Structure 1
């Protein structure tokens, strides 16, 4: 899982939930600036965990508050879980 793959997935899912084209969702936008209600955010988090195959911590979005930041974290965490010796520790 690369950061680019994770970022694209997040953008597509968020764009779908917001009913806007993917190009209208900037990767550096903070999650709290997006027009998602709490129910949609929970659904998105559940879909993301199913897609990734691992659970994200409850503070993940706090420490990685933008699409780009979260995508980079997901790539690092995926590499760590896959046993990549070059992965950054989370």
Structure 2
């Protein structure tokens, strides 16, 4: 399992969201709230599932609630990744 940095997680999230919305990655601000993005709940669940596959660990159902922006979620993912590496 590789350590995922906040920058890597943020880049991944922005690219996935941009692809789903049909916009350029530069049009997805990292400090915008997920509920302000034009994603429906199905798309959000698909992205969350794909992210867990990419990461190799589960984020938990409350991750988006407690970390409601791309920037905040990316920082959380980096912390979780570090914890899992340290515990391995």
Q: TM-score range by the shorter chain?
A: over 0.9
Give the 5 Å matches for 1:15-54.
15-54=18-57
Q: Which of the pair has the greater relative contact order for Cα pairs under 8 Å at 6+ separation?
A: 2
Pick the structure with more helix per residue: 2
Gap runs ≥5 in structure 1: 85-90
Gap runs ≥5 in structure 2: none
Query: Would you say 1:73 and 2:76 are equivalent positions?
Result: yes
Cα RMSD of the aligned pairs, angstroms, is 0.9
Q: C-alpha distance in 2, partners of 1:45/1:78?
A: 16
Q: TM-score, normalised by structure 2?
A: 0.93
Q: Deviating runs (4+, > 2 A) in structure 1?
A: none
Q: TM-score, normalised by structure 1?
A: 0.91
Q: C-alpha distance in 2, partners of 1:46/1:2?
A: 19
Q: C-alpha distance in 2, partners of 1:57/1:46?
A: 11
